[in-house]
Structure 1
């Protein structure tokens, strides 16, 4: 199944954080153009902090986990078929990349 052109939704409650139009697939990662929605401003800084910590995750793993935990609490990710159970999502500028699973990831 090809993913190119699929549109995934990022939401915060009932509000749109944005949509991701897939243009690259390197399983298990998908990436694409991110078009921000009205609620993006409320989580933009969370994604920026998470990426900054990810660059130094070996030194700051607990801080990264806490930052990403806040993202997980604030946003959901939906495929064209509906919400996914678990995901790891990064957003930077007009690009987003993520992996997902229909069931929660193992610890």
Structure 2
């Protein structure tokens, strides 16, 4: 799977949410330029709230927002969908990690 230079897609029920062109790989995180798509407006507030809750260390509320992000969007690698991910979007930057297996919920 290509990392730097790879194009990852964020998709949602309302259409393409955006694309991330990876420009930095800092295991386990990938960072890149985010270009919003037509569906981003529908989830933009969720991503802003997720970051604010993380800054406030309100992990219970953060978990609820994170789960809602998962219900509304999917992350597609250059090789296809990934089953589990943690994605942050702020302005024209995105950073994320992913797993080929679902995260342990315990």
What does 1:40-79 correspond to in 2, within 5 Å?
40-57=40-57, 60-79=58-77
Q: Gaps (5+ residues) in structure 1? A: none
TM-aligned CA deviation for residue 14 of structure 1: 6.2
Distance of 2:66 and 2:103 partners within structure 1: 14
Superposed CA offset, 1:72-102 (max 9, x none)? 1000000011100100000000000000001
Task: Choose 7-16 or 62-71, whichever is displaced more.
Answer: 7-16
Match of 2:83 in 1: 85
**Aligned residue pairs, count:** 105
Q: Normalization by structure 2: what TM-score? A: 0.95
1:15 aligns with 2:15: yes
Root-mean-square deviation (CA, aligned residues, Å) is 1.2
Moved more, 8-17 or 44-53: 8-17
Q: Deviations over 1:58-83 (max 9, x none)?
A: xx111010111110100000001110
Q: How many Å separate the matches in 1 of 2:81 and 2:23?
A: 20
> Is this contact kept in 1: 2:14–2:39, CA < 8 A?
no
